[in-house]
Structure 1
Amino acid sequence: MSERTFRVWRGGPDGELTEYRVEVNEGEVVLDVLHRLQATQAPDMAVRWNCKAGKCGSCSVEINGRPRLSCMTRMSVFEDDEVVTVTPMRTFPVVRDLVCDVSFNYAKAREIPSFTPAPGTEPGDFRMRQADVERSQEFRKCIECFLCNDVCHVIRDHEENKEHFSGPRFLMRVAELEMHPEDTADRRRTAQEEFGLGYCNITKCCTEVCPEGIHITDNALIPLKERVVDRKYDPLVWLGSKIGRRPKDTPIAPNVRRPEEGRGTA
């Protein structure tokens, strides 16, 4: 057991950092220490949390300036004499202490058109390759901690962009639906015109803070950008859109042969 110095944001948007000396035990995480502060020195401190297992995304804060889950940040990652500073997520309005108003994210979620299969299609009619299944499984690991949206400088540093830019979490959702072989909606126009895909300049900061290790930039945002560019600038795609709907351009898995492959010669 040892004593450590914590600096915790107290108050609303105009609050300030308050310094505490608090006991820390071996193996504890930052959320453990915040609970001890509530129990011993600051009973009115507001802290949002739920599962304490890194699966609900509720305890998102910024620790020493980096967006993290407080339940998954062990005290052992800090030097013995390092001051630990805990503040609310900077991108969203502060309600009180470490609790933010994240309603922006839920408003953006409601704007995404739902899964749209072909008319008359029943769930049992779907046929998906394993590559398609694995692609969407990665995106579905998201626990909606909103750390990716918090660190994204497009909305973190420019409040006015929130009206036009959904942030990486929901562009990833658009990408997941666009890549689904049974979804018939063309989400490329939606991504560009309604969710502000063009604002993203692929700095990969969202990928770096994702606690689930989702490759948001490489596997969602960049492929979605490529599809938008193909639709808008590729002359063959443009011609195909004029003649008729082009089939989904999901790549064929390496172990799936095209019909013309493997044919013998007469």
Structure 2
Amino acid sequence: MGSYQASFRVWRGDDESGALQDYTVEVNEGEVILDIIHRLQATQAPDLAVRWNCKAGKCGSCSAEINGRPRLMCMTRMSTFTEDEVITVTPMRTFPVIRDLVTDVSFNYEKAREIPSFAPPEGVAPGEYRMQQVDVERSQEFRKCIECFLCQNTCHVVRDHEENKKSFAGPRFLMRVAELDMHPLDAKDRQKAAQEEHGLGFCNITKCCTEVCPEGIHITDNALIPMKERVVDRKYDPVVWLGNKLFKRSGSKS
């Protein structure tokens, strides 16, 4: 594929109003969407606002929606589109627009602050932490998250229902709760918090978050579903319920 002229439709506007604008931009072999957005800034729209940093799929900054699908602009190759295809680039729909392709993602940082950090048991010093390799590997996948918030953006629980944002942490942060719950030394009751404080019950495991994750993290299968299973076992399994009651009773006598 050599150079050619591509048709782009880019959303321009702010938090009050905006619309899609048409552009024709040169495309060269090997380029990605972010390259074209930068060329558009350099040649036709110097005031176009876009957030980016590493251009290597590791900072999560350039999240947007390309032809309606949440993606990283730096990881979406132009070769995946035909030369006569009109490519639409819009800001993430779930978060308020600041200007053009830049959205206000502060919702995610607010949810992050609501989750208490790792809490080791009393009497265990940092140098005394010990984990089995199987426990390390179990949650290692979740640490690949680059905070692009594409999973948060595509989750219909908040995407289609603004009123849920207050009580639902979203897949990225429920994954964080699940990761902490899997840690054998974490002393906090993550299961109760997931259900009562972070809205785990809102998730109906449609896997849309997993589908858009640029790091290929199996958010639904490896974090959310196992977390739901542990919460349900604890609350409804009669054997688990009886065991919890007996454990609490024996503990209160000591």
Q: Same fold (TM over 0.5)?
A: yes
Instruction: Pick the aligned partner of 1:217 from 204, 220, 224.
Output: 220
Aligned to 2:252: none
Q: Secondary structure at the match of 2:46?
A: coil
- Quick check: 177-186 or 234-243, which moved more? 234-243
Aligned to 1:80: 83
Alignment of 1:35-184 (within 5 A): 35-184=38-187
Deviation sequence 1:232-257 (CA, Å, 0-9, x none): 11112212222226xxxxxxxxxxxx
Alpha-carbon distance in structure 2 between the residues aligned to 1:129 and 1:82:
51
Alpha-carbon distance in structure 2 between the residues aligned to 1:82 and 1:129:
51
Alpha-carbon distance in structure 1 between the residues aligned to 2:171 and 2:75:
22
Please report the TM-score for the alignment, with normalisation by the length of structure 2.
Answer: 0.95
- Quick check: 183-192 or 138-147, which moved more? 183-192
Alpha-carbon distance in structure 2 between the residues aligned to 1:135 and 1:24:
42
**1:26 and 2:29 aligned:** yes
Alpha-carbon distance in structure 2 between the residues aligned to 1:183 and 1:141:
20
**1:238 and 2:245 aligned:** no
Aligned to 2:13: 11
Which residue identity does 1:5 align to in structure 2? S
Q: Secondary structure at the match of 1:80?
A: coil
Percent identical pairs in the alignment equals 77
Q: CA deviation at 1:186?
A: 1.3
How many residues of Structure 1 are paired with residues of Structure 2 in the alignment?
246
Normalized per residue, the structure richer in helix is 2
For structure 1, which runs of at least 5 residues remain unmatched after alignment?
246-266
Q: CA deviation at 1:131?
A: 1.4
Aligned to 2:189: 186
Alpha-carbon distance in structure 1 between the residues aligned to 2:20 and 2:125:
56
Which residue identity does 1:158 align to in structure 2? H
Aligned to 1:260: none
Q: Secondary structure at the match of 2:31?
A: coil
Which residue identity does 1:160 align to in structure 2? E
Q: CA deviation at 1:219?
A: 0.3
Q: CA deviation at 1:123?
A: 2.1
Aligned to 1:226: 229
Aligned to 1:205: 208
Q: CA deviation at 1:120?
A: 1.7
Q: Secondary structure at the match of 2:124?
A: coil
Q: Secondary structure at the match of 1:140?
A: helix
Aligned to 1:261: none
Q: CA deviation at 1:107?
A: 0.1
Deviation sequence 1:161-212 (CA, Å, 0-9, x none): 0011110000000000000001011111100011100000000000000000
Which residue identity does 2:181 align to in structure 1? E
For structure 2, which runs of at least 5 residues remain unmatched after alignment?
249-254
Deviation sequence 1:94-129 (CA, Å, 0-9, x none): 000000000000000000011111112112222211
Tell me, yes or no, if the aligned pair for 2:118 and 2:186 is still in contact at 8 Å: yes
Q: Secondary structure at the match of 2:144?
A: coil
Which residue identity does 1:36 align to in structure 2? R
Please report the TM-score for the alignment, with normalisation by the length of structure 1.
Answer: 0.91
Alpha-carbon distance in structure 1 between the residues aligned to 2:134 and 2:84:
48
Alpha-carbon distance in structure 2 between the residues aligned to 1:201 and 1:209:
17
Alpha-carbon distance in structure 2 between the residues aligned to 1:138 and 1:170:
14
Alpha-carbon distance in structure 2 between the residues aligned to 1:155 and 1:210:
17
